[in-house]
Amino acid sequence: MKLIVGLGNPGKEYEHTRHNAGFVWIDCLADELKVTLRPEARFNALCARVNMNSADLWLLEPQTYMNRSGHSVAALCRFYKIQPDEILVIHDELDLLPGAVKLKCGGGLGGHNGLKDIAAQLGTRDFWRLRIGIGHPGDRSDVVRFVLHPPGKEESRLINEAIDRSLQIWPLIAQGDFQTAMLKLHTK
């Protein structure tokens, strides 16, 4: 793993929204690794470089708004020659209930604009994703309002538990042991 991307929208008005679950995850990992994300204009993102096992690992929070996240990801990947299978994208997932979290590589994009832009900019869907369940509002026409608002108290607790649980498998992800990570994460 060379690049860990958390998806979200920049700005105080979006800080606690469901759509920013990826930013929350990255912030927690940065705290754990004792690094600070700093603005990096050439990637239009907040970034931190971590040396792990004699190799660089990048943490990235695109500051482009969700539907242009791929521009930041692709810029960093081109600059540091990072391949799609060396990327993990953490994002909110409407198709999972709050509290659920799943790890996968490739597959569909589920209508997620951040994932769509990353796939378009990289030219492939073959990157790793950590999907943090936020639930679905029930009606497709309510999705935008739903993701751009904070979750209720119980939903927030469940989403934070999912983030904490997925951070516990971080060492396995860092080692590239995705099979064991998925087994631990997906087994209750």
On whether 44 is known to bind a ligand per the annotation, the reply is no
Angstrom distances, CA of residue 3 to CA of 6, 55, 82, 136, 153: 10, 11, 8, 28, 32
Altogether, the residues listed in the chain come to a count of 188
- Closest by CA position to 114, among listed 147, 65, 162, 166: 65
Q: What is the dihedral of CA 80, 54, 25, 100, to 10 degrees?
A: 110
Q: Is 67 annotated as a binding residue?
A: yes
- With beta carbons less than 8 A apart as the criterion, state whether 106 and 126 touch: yes
The answer to the question of whether 51 is labelled as a binding residue is no
With 0-12 / 13-18 / 19 or more C-beta atoms within 10 angstroms meaning exposed / middle / buried, residue 50 is: middle
136 is catalytic: no
Q: Determine if residue 65 is labeled as part of a ligand binding site.
A: yes
**Distance (Å, rounded) from C-alpha 132 to C-alpha 138?**
18
Choosing from 16, 19, 91, 112, which is the catalytic residue? 19
Binding residues for tRNA: 14, 65, 67, 113
Residues with catalytic function: 19
Binding residues: 14, 65, 67, 113
